[in-house]
Chains A and B, each alone.
Chain A
Amino acid sequence: MLDYLISGLLNVVTDPINLIMLIAAIFIGYLGGAIPGVSGTMLVVIMVPVTYSFEPDSAFILLTGIYAITAFSGAISAILLRTPGTPEAVVTTFDGYPMAQKGQPGRALGIAIFCSVVGGVIGTLCLMLISPALANVALSFSAPEYFALAVMGLTVVASLSGKALAKGLIGVLIGLMISTIGMDPLTGTLRYTFGSSALLSGIDLIPVIIGLFALSEFLKKTTESHAVQEVISNVKTKLFEIEIFKKIKGTMARSTIIGIFVGILPGIGATTASMLSYSETVRWSKEKEKDSYGKGNPKGIAASETANNAAAMGTLVPLLSLGIPGGATAAVLLGAFVLHGMQPGPTLFSTEPELMYTIFAALLIANLVMLIVSKPFIKIFQKIVNVPYSILGPLIVVFCVIGTYTVRNSYVDILIMVVFGIIGFILEKYRFPLATIILGVVLGPLTESQFRRAVEMSSGDFSIFFTRPISLTLLIISALMLFFPLISGLFKKRKNQEQEG
């Protein structure tokens, strides 16, 4: 195996075209990922047709390289603009932006870079080393387990909404409802299209995300035109600070494991991984510390960035070893393999070992390169941040519009984006946790189709979810996660009463 990896590394570094592709991947990944509205998925989608004429090696170095870089680069705008450059960086805004506002943008970025590299490199190593073994675990899953898994993902964010649990749950349900619009994947029946042909293929995730997070944020910011310029400037990226590292090392270790594990499970990508890792970090911290989350706690950034980079690599495990896409970008990559006349799956390792290890090598290099390239890139990015909001805001809107339009070339998607921008703007005034809607939309199709498949499997017996050990365990964990804040709240109340008494 080590021979393969070395030949893979040599293939990337010595071949001039491959090297150019890697550099291009890094450049595109940074620029595209850091710009809100240009997600990693979209970049890969755009590049897939471009790579058609390339050799498979070069093509996949470019595509997977962009994929690896965007797992991090979304954090730059998440921290400096509170507009996540990619959906994976949504959770990074929770603590990254407050920290930047407090006058420590350099520290926030440094934590993000360092954690991304650690998460990404360990993720890549896991992808290479234990992917067959881990894939075997997920391989034994079928519909009931997948459904239970999706439920677990849903309950996590509902519990993230903390005091507003009912609102969080409503958010998830709204998200799930949005995902039912369009053609039902199992029977082809139309649902809630209200006679509109534009809604046949459903509401895409991108307009929802861009609308809820970017456009609503723009509308909110219009009153504070100069705030960005004043608060976040003079960023000196502090890559490694020993006292910060001591604080976050536990979080990093836990988040790497969560990230890789969640990434490997199909259908649940880096976005969910970072959400799960964040809520776990909050739960594991001391009672005194809990209030500091969302206000610039370094552990919050570490949780999100370590997990999403590790998960981005983990997502490739089921794709490369089983041919199952772990997320949207992985699905596009699957299409790219087919475009190049290959079918990802267990056989690919025996028929194309060199290509596989070239991909691994490219991922490893791309992740390590972040340590060196991020600092100068953030300086360039700074120029964008130093521009007043009356210039930057309109640019964000145009990016929102183009970003939405390019995904499906659909004008209706732009309208949907604007509608969700308005919804997000209004809901934020009601202190509504917006991320829960996104989670519902992301996990909706998986949850529903696996639920129905499972019931079909048992010929209509709903107990199938509780009679299979793995599915039962996952559902019990979900229930505990959902009701844990309530139960612990009750305990706290009783404790306080006892102390007062």
Chain B
Amino acid sequence: MNQAKKDYIFYSIVMIFAIFFLASTPQIQSTNQSFIIGPATWPYILLILMIFLGLYGIVSTLIKAKVMKSEELIAKEEAAPVKKIFHLSIPVVSLLVVIIYVLLLNVIGFIFSTVLFLYGITLLLGTKKQLTAILFSIITMVVFVILFSVLLQIPLPRGIGVFRELSLFFY
């Protein structure tokens, strides 16, 4: 994908974003009519400016793309060999792991989800030894719990049900 195509997509997303919010702005009903400028005015100003800039971006990309074509300058593709797992690149897999971790956090609590997450992601990112990954994930979790929950008294997510009861033993 060349730069012009990327820009078209970017500005289109901006336009969609702005139009979506613009469509939901009339729902803002001020309960207090004594103000000259209601709560919807400011968002209207921002969104109209955003649409204007999005249009400007598309038009300027059009002009630029034409100039580029006449000079026959086509951006080179970055085609570095990428390591893949299940046809997905490492950052995407990592992202999925992070999302699973965050979702589990509210169900099985900080202790278990953190250990599982750390174990999985450490192996994914290239730690070779199983033992290192296991020790690292358990020790790190313990340090975090002691540092934040016990010493700084910050309540960490406990999860639900059995996991909640279990976490109460530790923090």
Q: What is the interface of chain A, defined by CB distance below 8 A to chain B?
A: 46, 166-167, 169-170, 173-174, 176-177, 180, 184, 186-192, 194, 215, 218-220, 222-223, 225-226, 388-391, 393-395, 397-398, 401-402, 405-406, 409, 411, 414-415, 418, 421-422, 425, 429-430, 432, 448, 451-452, 455-456, 459-460
CB distance from B94 to the nearest CB of A (A): 4
> Does A187 contact B39, Cβ atoms closer than 8 Å?
yes
Contact of A180 among B46, B60, B82, B155 (CB under 8 A): B46
Contact of B39 among A191, A394, A415, A425 (CB under 8 A): A191
Complex Cα gap A171–B12 (Å): 14
> Does B60 contact A188, Cβ atoms closer than 8 Å?
no
Q: A166-B60, A184-B39, A191-B39 are in contact. Are A173 and B46 (CB under 8 A)?
A: yes
**Binary A-proximity of B95-124 (CB < 8 A = 1, otherwise 0):** 100110110011000000010011001101
Contact of A394 among B24, B121, B156 (CB under 8 A): B121
Which residues from A are CB-within-8-Å of B9? 430
> Does B98 contact A397, Cβ atoms closer than 8 Å?
yes
Write 29 A-B pairs (CB below 8 A) sorted by A numbering. Answer: A166-B53, A166-B56, A170-B57, A173-B49, A174-B17, A176-B46, A186-B39, A187-B38, A187-B39, A188-B31, A189-B28, A191-B39, A192-B28, A194-B24, A219-B94, A219-B95, A390-B126, A390-B127, A394-B125, A401-B101, A405-B157, A409-B154, A409-B155, A414-B105, A422-B95, A425-B95, A452-B41, A456-B37, A460-B36
> Does A406 contact B43, Cβ atoms closer than 8 Å?
no
> Does A219 contact B114, Cβ atoms closer than 8 Å?
no
CB distance from B48 to the nearest CB of A (A): 10
> Does B28 contact A177, Cβ atoms closer than 8 Å?
no
Which residues from B are CB-within-8-Å of A220? 91
By beta carbon, the residue of chain A nearest B48 is A173
Which residues from B are CB-within-8-Å of A432? 10
Complex Cα gap A411–B159 (Å): 11
Q: Does B70 have its Cβ within 8 Å of any Cβ on chain A?
A: no
Contact of B98 among A215, A402, A429 (CB under 8 A): A215
Contact of A222 among B43, B91, B106, B148 (CB under 8 A): B91
Q: A180-B42, A395-B140 are in contact. Are A430 and B106 (CB under 8 A)?
A: no
> Does A401 contact B102, Cβ atoms closer than 8 Å?
yes
Chain B interface extent, by class: 35 or more
> Does A390 contact B125, Cβ atoms closer than 8 Å?
yes
Q: Does B21 have its Cβ within 8 Å of any Cβ on chain A?
A: yes
Q: Does B2 have its Cβ within 8 Å of any Cβ on chain A?
A: no
> Does B122 contact A394, Cβ atoms closer than 8 Å?
yes
Complex Cα gap A187–B37 (Å): 10
> Does A421 contact B98, Cβ atoms closer than 8 Å?
yes
Q: Does B50 have its Cβ within 8 Å of any Cβ on chain A?
A: yes
Complex Cα gap A111–B17 (Å): 42
**A-B pair number, CB within 8 angstroms:** 157
The residues in B between 14 and 47 inclusive whose CB is less than 8 angstroms from any CB of A are: 14, 17, 21, 24, 28-32, 35-43, 46-47
Q: A176-B46, A222-B125 are in contact. Are A189 and B37 (CB under 8 A)?
A: no
Complex Cα gap A219–B94 (Å): 7
> Does A173 contact B50, Cβ atoms closer than 8 Å?
yes
Q: What is the interface of chain B, defined by CB distance below 8 A to chain A?
A: 6-7, 9-10, 14, 17, 21, 24, 28-32, 35-43, 46-47, 49-50, 53-54, 56-57, 60, 82-83, 89-91, 94-95, 98-99, 101-102, 105-106, 114, 117-118, 121-122, 124-127, 136, 140, 144, 148, 152, 154-157
> Does B121 contact A397, Cβ atoms closer than 8 Å?
yes
Which residues from A are CB-within-8-Å of B101? 397, 401
Which residues from A are CB-within-8-Å of B118? 394, 398
CB distance from A36 to the nearest CB of B (A): 15
Contact of B14 among A170, A405, A415, A452 (CB under 8 A): A170
Which residues from A are CB-within-8-Å of B60? 166
Complex Cα gap A10–B128 (Å): 56
Which residues from B are CB-within-8-Å of A226? 126
> Does B105 contact A393, Cβ atoms closer than 8 Å?
no
Q: A166-B57, A187-B35, A192-B24 are in contact. Are A418 and B83 (CB under 8 A)?
A: no
By beta carbon, the residue of chain A nearest B17 is A174
CB distance from B44 to the nearest CB of A (A): 11
Complex Cα gap A192–B29 (Å): 11
Complex Cα gap A429–B1 (Å): 11
Contact of A397 among B37, B49, B117 (CB under 8 A): B117
> Does B31 contact A187, Cβ atoms closer than 8 Å?
yes
Q: A223-B90, A411-B105, A432-B10 are in contact. Are A452 and B30 (CB under 8 A)?
A: no
> Does A388 contact B127, Cβ atoms closer than 8 Å?
yes
Complex Cα gap A222–B38 (Å): 46
CB distance from B166 to the nearest CB of A (A): 19
Contact of B148 among A169, A402, A425 (CB under 8 A): A402
Complex Cα gap A184–B32 (Å): 11
Contact of A430 among B6, B121, B122 (CB under 8 A): B6
